[in-house]
Structure 1
Amino acid sequence: DEFNVDGRTFYPGDDPYWEALDIHYWGTNNLEWYSPDMVNTGNGYLNITLDRTPWRGLEYKGGLMTSWNKFCFTGGYFVANVSLPGRSDVYGLWPAVWAMGNLGRAGYGASLDGMWPYTYDTCDVGTLPNQTRPDGTPINATINGDPGKEGVLSYLPGQRLSACTCSGESHPGPKRPDGTFVGRAAPEIDVIEAQVDAGTRIGHVSMSGQWAPYNYGYEWFNTSDNFITHQPGLKLNTYVGGAYQQTTSVLVDTDQRCYVESGGCFSVYGFEYRRGYDGYITWVSDDKPAWTLRGAGMGADERVELGPRPVPMEPMYMILNLGISPNFGAIDFDNLVFPTTMLIDWVRVYQPRDARNIGCDPPDYPTAEYINTYIEAYTNANLTTWVDDYKQVIPKNRLVDNCT
């Protein structure tokens, strides 16, 4: 999308590819309400604005737009030309360009419950709640995990649509020749989440993947074969995960002029990926490769009795947003200026000629029938959990339920 036509709006039904949400993104403790009137086109750009204005009981109003269930891609290069909001030396904003699997709708908790950020197709303890069996094993999943959770590795509820799902249970498919289900989920790959270091006052972006189930101690296999840097000065993020996600993140300094209020230039950010166990993700910053994660980096981890986590197999949709949250880091309330806007010149997806795969309901990873069956989970943002709120059942898992 080149965003060259001014005056476009993105309320539900306005656009064939995009929809701006009207929700509070409670999952990350955001201070703003996301409102569709904060997303539009003007001067040849997409404008996503965050303002300090009371709205729906919150102090701020921001914008979040997605292509969920309208435009998805499987494999390829997802890239955007962006001028980041604010100044490169004032911290606290949370602009992001990212992608998620179509079976989970960002901001709709029930749809994400037991789905995000899994990418898993093995039937083992990794599919179970907290990555432990009913007897509490493996012990390694209960130590050296999240320090805020007494060292427990995972607080996830288990993979809802796992490869262990019993036949006859509700599952989007497909099935393997042996009759077992392919594991399904809502993985996440982030092009950028931008922040300014509160100490150095230098702007950078986190270029990351989110994963579940988790390695022991959130330690992925970042050997020189699996973790490749293409630019000098890159730093592995010290944040490696917690009870609700594992992250593989590298911090990349940005062009300090490519902020709306610090020069106004644009910078190209993206990721190229090939799905599967032998796949890879290469992140691009300032139109140059920044770092690569090879699939083996998320290989099997015997320490917690896990199989490998493939580079996401699911059809992925695009998310563009500008919010503000203490969860993402310190906020310099005194020096942030509102309203503030992220400008996006264009968003593009490229795919190899021999690997075209566009669509949210591909035959090998279907989503439409399942989404339509449980449409309320995807359209009622007040439903935050699958069982307690939405009153659905978790499909039986053959590791713990008597079935085949």
Structure 2
Amino acid sequence: MLLLLIITTRIDSTVAGWVDPSSQITVTTSLIDGTEYDLVMSDEFETDGRGFADGEDSVWTALDKSDDDMSAAGGGSLHFYNSSHASTSNGFLNVSTTTEKTTWTGFNPFKQAFVDLEKDYKSAMVNSWNKFCFTGGIVEIDAILPGEPNTAGLWPAMWILGNLGRATYEGSTNGIWPWSYDTCDRRLQHAQHVSGCSDVNHYGLNARRGRGSTEIDILELMPGEKGWLPSTFPKIQRPYGAMTLQVAPGVEKNRPQSGSVPVRVGNDGTNGFPPTEPQSWYEGLGFGSNTSMNPFFYGTYLGETKPEEPTHRTKKEAFQADAVGAMFQLTKAHFERVHTYRMEWQPGKGGRIDWFVSTEGGRERPGVKKKEVNKGDEEEEEENTVNKRHKEPVKPSGFDPASKVLPQTSSKWTHAFSIEDESLSGLQGSQVPAEPSYLIFNTAVSSTWGFPYDTPDTCKKCYSCFDPDCACAIPPGFCESLKNGKTSMLIDSVRVYQAKDDDAHVGNKHTVGCDPIGYPTREFIEGHESLYMRPIPFTDKHALLPLKSGGGKCTSDDDCGEGVCTKEADLSFWSKSSNTVCNCGKSGYMGSFCKTKIYGDDEPGAYDYELNTSWFFKRISIPYIPVELAGFLVALVAGFIGAFVVTLKKKKISGGTYRGVAGNEMTPQFNKARRALHR
């Protein structure tokens, strides 16, 4: 009974939702439905020196792994995610990219052998997977974009992903990404691993509910050389921001061709051309006055895999995913000053997604000398915003006739892009995502994003800034730009708001948590945990490490955030070390250096709710035991066990046979009888 009390002890801690105490704004108004939304999560990144390695932060985790696209055709990623490239300073979250090499030994599934691997760039991905998730609401990210507007090579992104898939862990996303389909379709059942045809709710999932890990890209940056891009209406040039919903199932026949807008009207052959059918694509999409449909990426076909690939898809599991996206015109100002990137998300059937960008900039990038603005810069800024905001919708020439132009009713915001649920359900039967989703900030470097694609045959296919022979395959000025200190994406703040009144908006109810009752994820993740862990040579025992409570080496209290610098010997009766380490104590902060506040969900998730309401646990009272009493009980039990072990060692039994605790097993007489029985 004493051991049971210790096991069920809960530790009192300071948990008050996910709102940063330094946040000044706690309410906002929807630009769509006009109602008030409350702040439910925020991070202002005001504390300098925060680290985001696994176990260091209660909200964020920065990855330490290679970003691999292990397809048979070979991947395009050139970077290794390193948690040291994510930190806080000057009130920003700094996601930096450098030309540092990373080498390691890893398993190559195509060669079926361990080989030496190398990546030429280091960067960071910071996300809140399986920590902070939300379903629906308003997301606002204040950020300065990295790099130079007209120098290609970086692939920064601010996005959300359903919690059932862990970004860059392909085993977890295979057959899960980017499904948003809640209908039983026997033809698609094999491709959607958690389909609406399932009658049994394994791993805590709800029966007959299709699940997935849908991706909503709030912004992906495409920098590069100037010049109006073909098939964009209104005309767009680099740099632009891609705003995209990636969703499955996708359109399988008569898809639009990359580089062209959808052909809505077919040709019957009477004009001398071969007869053609109209192309199938989503109707009713809304585009702002500085935004065009994205004709360069309509989605990804996930085909049958080869036997040696680490993730497997049979012919029946192959499927088409769609990218329903827009291109928003960016300017030089977005690289120099803070702008707000806003998404309003009403989840589920009848819902919608809307993207906004603030029209005015905030504070400037620190550490960069101000330059005089010449007339040429002003003309370029005006040229990039030639399609200025207007209140009355006006369709430019060449605009997709099945789409609409969004009226601009706010002087502070550009309404860039809009997707309503009818656009999705009317074509493929998919829906606006309703999955609990987490936030992601990262910068990638990929040979498929902004790198030259028409290099001559004589060009060496390599991408290292350290090898002069690779220059022909690298964007002009890219290597130089990595040295100027401006290739860091700076996040000034992130805030999530949710509706005060769920009846005031369309779609499903807003929720906070990674394991909501309607869309649970906890038991599924725990039941497939290996899919969410790094492969060999890493030795992960769990997908996430427990949050650390101090332990970082220090010389004074200044090193320890909200904690104190303490002798290690003072923290443990058994320690004789003279080292000093951070002690978080009861500060309400955690991490090696006590710089992250302890956050958590205010309401229990699906697993905890089921546990607390089940017949068995309803009848067991779980007492609360203070930390001091728990420590005393642990010491008492340890002393009792120690004394018991010593007593056993001292006790000698005649004949040399261990008598056992009960005193009557394994006696010499019993052994003699047993030997006689087996003759």
Question: Which of the five TM-score ranges fits, normalised by the shorter chain?
Answer: 0.7 to 0.9
Aligned equivalents of 1:343, 1:275: Cα separation in 2: 28
Counterpart residue number, 1:396: none
Listed one character per residue, the Cα deviations across residues 212-246 of structure 1 (whole Å, up to 9, x for unaligned) are 111234466443xx211233453433311131331
Structure with bigger RCO (C-alpha 8 Å, 6+ apart): 1
TM-score of the superposed pair, with normalisation by structure 2: 0.48
Q: 1:174 aligns with which of 206, 210, 213?
A: 206
- In the alignment, structure 2 segments of 5+ residues that lack a partner are 1-42, 70-74, 104-117, 228-236, 257-279, 303-320, 359-412, 453-473, 503-509, 538-679
Q: 1:126 to 1:254 in 2, by over 3 A?
A: farther
Counterpart residue number, 1:363: 517
TM-score of the superposed pair, with normalisation by structure 1: 0.79
CA contact (8 A) 1:47 1:343 kept: yes
CA contact (8 A) 2:152 2:224 kept: yes
Tell whether 2:188 aligns with 1:127.
yes
Tell whether 2:77 aligns with 1:30.
yes
Q: Which has the larger radius of gyration?
A: 2
The one-letter amino acid paired with 2:92 is: Y
C-alpha root-mean-square deviation of aligned residues, in Å? Answer: 2.0
Q: 1:12 to 1:21 in 2, by over 3 A?
A: same
The one-letter amino acid paired with 2:300 is: G
The one-letter amino acid paired with 1:310 is: Q
- In the alignment, structure 1 segments of 5+ residues that lack a partner are 130-157, 176-180, 384-404
The one-letter amino acid paired with 1:53 is: E
Listed one character per residue, the Cα deviations across residues 373-396 of structure 1 (whole Å, up to 9, x for unaligned) are 21111123569xxxxxxxxxxxxx
The one-letter amino acid paired with 1:70 is: K
CA contact (8 A) 1:108 1:381 kept: no
Q: 1:251 aligns with which of 327, 336, 342?
A: 327
Counterpart residue number, 1:162: 195
Once the two structures are overlaid, the 10-residue window that deviates more, 37-46 or 364-373, is 364-373
Listed one character per residue, the Cα deviations across residues 153-202 of structure 1 (whole Å, up to 9, x for unaligned) are xxxxx11111112537x354213xxxxx2111111100010012445273
CA contact (8 A) 2:85 2:123 kept: yes
Query: Which SS does the other structure have where 2:511 is aligned?
Result: coil
Query: Which SS does the other structure have where 2:501 is aligned?
Result: helix
Counterpart residue number, 1:338: 482
Query: Which SS does the other structure have where 2:171 is aligned?
Result: helix
Counterpart residue number, 1:47: 94
Aligned equivalents of 1:102, 1:6: Cα separation in 2: 29
CA contact (8 A) 2:203 2:523 kept: no
Q: 1:297 aligns with which of 411, 423, 432?
A: 423
Aligned equivalents of 2:245, 2:350: Cα separation in 1: 16
1:314-393 to structure 2, matched below 5 A, reads: 314-330=435-451, 332-336=474-478, 337-339=481-483, 340-355=487-502, 356-381=510-535
CA contact (8 A) 2:218 2:243 kept: yes
Q: 1:237 to 1:272 in 2, by over 3 A?
A: farther
CA contact (8 A) 2:125 2:442 kept: yes
Counterpart residue number, 1:13: 55
1:143-162 to structure 2, matched below 5 A, reads: 158-162=191-195
Query: Which SS does the other structure have where 2:341 is aligned?
Result: strand
Q: 1:295 to 1:333 in 2, by over 3 A?
A: same
Q: 1:381 to 1:65 in 2, by over 3 A?
A: farther
The one-letter amino acid paired with 1:370 is: F
Counterpart residue number, 2:347: 275
Listed one character per residue, the Cα deviations across residues 3-54 of structure 1 (whole Å, up to 9, x for unaligned) are 1111101011111100000111112631000010000001110000010111
Listed one character per residue, the Cα deviations across residues 72-118 of structure 1 (whole Å, up to 9, x for unaligned) are 01001122111111111111210000000001111111111100011
Q: 1:312 aligns with which of 429, 433, 457?
A: 433
The one-letter amino acid paired with 2:80 is: W
Q: 1:85 to 1:47 in 2, by over 3 A?
A: same
1:67-106 to structure 2, matched below 5 A, reads: 67-106=128-167
CA contact (8 A) 1:86 1:341 kept: yes
Listed one character per residue, the Cα deviations across residues 343-391 of structure 1 (whole Å, up to 9, x for unaligned) are 11011111111244111111111111111121111123569xxxxxxxx
Q: How many residues align?
A: 338
Which of the pair is proportionally richer in strand? 1
Tell whether 2:265 aligns with 1:118.
no
CA contact (8 A) 2:290 2:329 kept: no
Listed one character per residue, the Cα deviations across residues 321-356 of structure 1 (whole Å, up to 9, x for unaligned) are 011102223265430211521111011111111244
Query: Which SS does the other structure have where 1:111 is aligned?
Result: helix
